[in-house]
């Protein structure tokens, strides 16, 4: 009996410690999340999620602003804003116009870049609240100021999503590319160049805690 | 009739349960109850008085106390380190460093494993000591 008591005392201590350690390490495990939505139909996450965005390029003579709109409250947040409609604006350099063609990766059709000064920030980020519906919006103003357009990513006539937020880099696209057509409304003679404003989102997911052996 | 059936079930299940609960023991000794003299033949277990090494006991106690504190500290450190939101970035992310408190917990776990081995060896040597009568 005395031996049993001693043994129990010894093993109880170990059981507690090992149990505590096991619980501790289980608690570190990354929780499984419900499906993320990041496309034309919706931008919504089951948990608070921060996404880093990168401005790639713009084409066209319009001055554009891109941002996030909370569809529940209508609140808008600017991510990228052109300070001039294209890089060579005001320089007197002639611009080759190519409406209706996708000119991503070329200098054709009023190219706007960060390096050229059309947009000042290359990166931007936004924290999407859990279970809240969002969309992206693009506002464009013509050089004369007479034409103003506003389109949302909720239509595939305006925004084309390509990639995955955790997809890394695939064929020159990191994460999700969102390519815009600023005339993204059903209308006769509408072009579908989807190069008027091009951004990319995410690419690399959060890294879980290192495994402890 | 219903009550009798139910009672039958209860008794039957009790017998089965007792059968399962009773562990099979191959080394069990039985008293010799043949003949007129009844001898209790169960092997006597002499009190060997081989007390547990107090240093070992103190070590176990210390480990328990330290590991409890380290476990709580590790949990607190992880809570503090956990970001408030998930983050998808443009560049690959590096995994967060293991907090120092959790590293200490790991060290303690290694110590526990060593101590467990020591104790198991002690148990084996006690079990095979020459103090058993048969």
Q: Mind listing the pLDDT tens digit for each residue in A114-147?
A: 999 999 999 999 999 999 999 999 999 998 999 9
Q: Which of A18, A19, A21 to mutate to test the interface with B (most CBs of B within 10 A)?
A: A21
How many beta-carbon contacts under 8 Å exist across A and B?
107
Q: What is the mean pLDDT of residues A94-112?
A: 86
Q: Does B89 touch chain A (CB under 8 A)?
A: yes
Q: What is the pLDDT along chain B (134 residues), one digit of tens a residue?
A: 555 565 566 555 555 454 454 554 555 566 666 666 666 666 665 555 566 778 888 888 999 999 999 999 999 988 888 777 899 999 999 888 888 889 999 999 999 898 888 888 877 776 665 555 55
Share of chain A above pLDDT 90, in %: 63
Residue A177: closest C-alpha in chain B: B90
B102 chain-A contacts, CB cut-off 8 A: 24, 212
> Residue A176: CB partners within 8 Å, gap ≥ 6?
A38, A161, A162, A163, A164, A165, A167, A200, A201, A202, A203
Tens of pLDDT along B8-34? 665 555 554 544 545 545 555 666 666
Least CB–CB distance from B106: residue in A203, A204, A212 = A212
d(CA B45, CA B133): 8
Confidence (pLDDT) at A17? 44
Q: CA neighbours within 13 Å on the CB side: how many for A70?
A: 13
Q: Which of A16, A1, A22, A19 is nearest to A212 (CA)?
A: A22
Interface test with A, best of B47, B63, B76, B86 (most A CBs within 10 A): B86
Per-residue confidence (pLDDT) for residue A10, from 0 to 100 = 47
Q: Is residue B35 less than 8 Å (CB to CB) from chain A?
A: no
Which of A93-97, A160-164, A187-191 has the weakest average pLDDT? A187-191
- Do B105 and A21 make contact, defined as CB atoms within 8 angstroms? yes
The CB density around residue B85, as the number of other CB atoms within 10 Å, is 15
Mutate which of A12, A14, A129, A166 to disrupt the B interface (most B C-beta within 10 Å)? A14
Cβ contacts (< 8 Å) between A48 and chain B: which residues?
84-86
Q: What is the pLDDT of residue A21?
A: 44
Distance in Å, alpha carbon of A93 to nearest chain B alpha carbon: 33
């Amino acid at each position: 009996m005395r031996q049993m008591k001693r043994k129990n005392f010894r093993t109880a201590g170990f059981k507690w410690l090992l149990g505590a350690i096991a619980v501790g390490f289980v608690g570190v495990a990354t929780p499984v999340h419900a499906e993320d939505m990041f496309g034309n139909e919706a931008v919504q996450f089951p948990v608070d999620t921060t996404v880093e965005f990168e401005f790639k390029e713009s084409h066209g003579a319009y001055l554009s602003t891109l941002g996030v709109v909370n569809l529940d409250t209508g609140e808008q947040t600017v991510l990228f804003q052109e300070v001039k409609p294209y890089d060579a604006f005001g320089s007197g350099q002639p611009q080759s116009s190519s409406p209706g063609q996708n000119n991503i990766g070329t200098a054709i059709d009023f190219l706007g870049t960060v390096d050229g000064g059309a947009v000042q920030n290359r990166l931007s980020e936004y924290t999407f609240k859990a279970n809240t519906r969002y969309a992206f919006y693009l506002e464009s103003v013509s050089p004369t100021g007479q034409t103003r357009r506003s389109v949302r990513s909720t239509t595939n006539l305006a925004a084309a999503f390509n990639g995955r937020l955790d997809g890394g880099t695939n064929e020159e696209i990191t994460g999700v590319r969102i390519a815009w057509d600023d005339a993204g409304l059903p209308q006769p003679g509408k072009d579908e160049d989807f190069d008027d404003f091009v951004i990319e989102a995410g690419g690399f997911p959060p890294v879980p805690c290192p495994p402890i052996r | 009739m219903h009550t009798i059936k139910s009672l039958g079930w209860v008794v039957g299940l009790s017998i089965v349960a007792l059968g399962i609960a009773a562990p099979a023991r191959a080394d069990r000794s039985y008293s010799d109850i043949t003949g007129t003299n009844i001898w209790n033949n169960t092997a006597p277990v002499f009190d060997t008085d081989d007390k547990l090494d107090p240093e070992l006991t103190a070590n176990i106690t210390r480990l328990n106390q330290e590991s409890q504190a380290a476990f709580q500290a590790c949990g607190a450190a992880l809570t503090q380190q956990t970001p408030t939101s998930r983050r998808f970035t443009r560049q690959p992310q590096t995994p967060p460093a293991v907090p120092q408190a959790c590293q200490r917990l790991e060290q303690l776990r290694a110590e526990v494993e060593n101590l467990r081995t020591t104790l198991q060896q002690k148990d084996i040597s006690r079990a095979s000591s020459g103090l058993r009568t048969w």
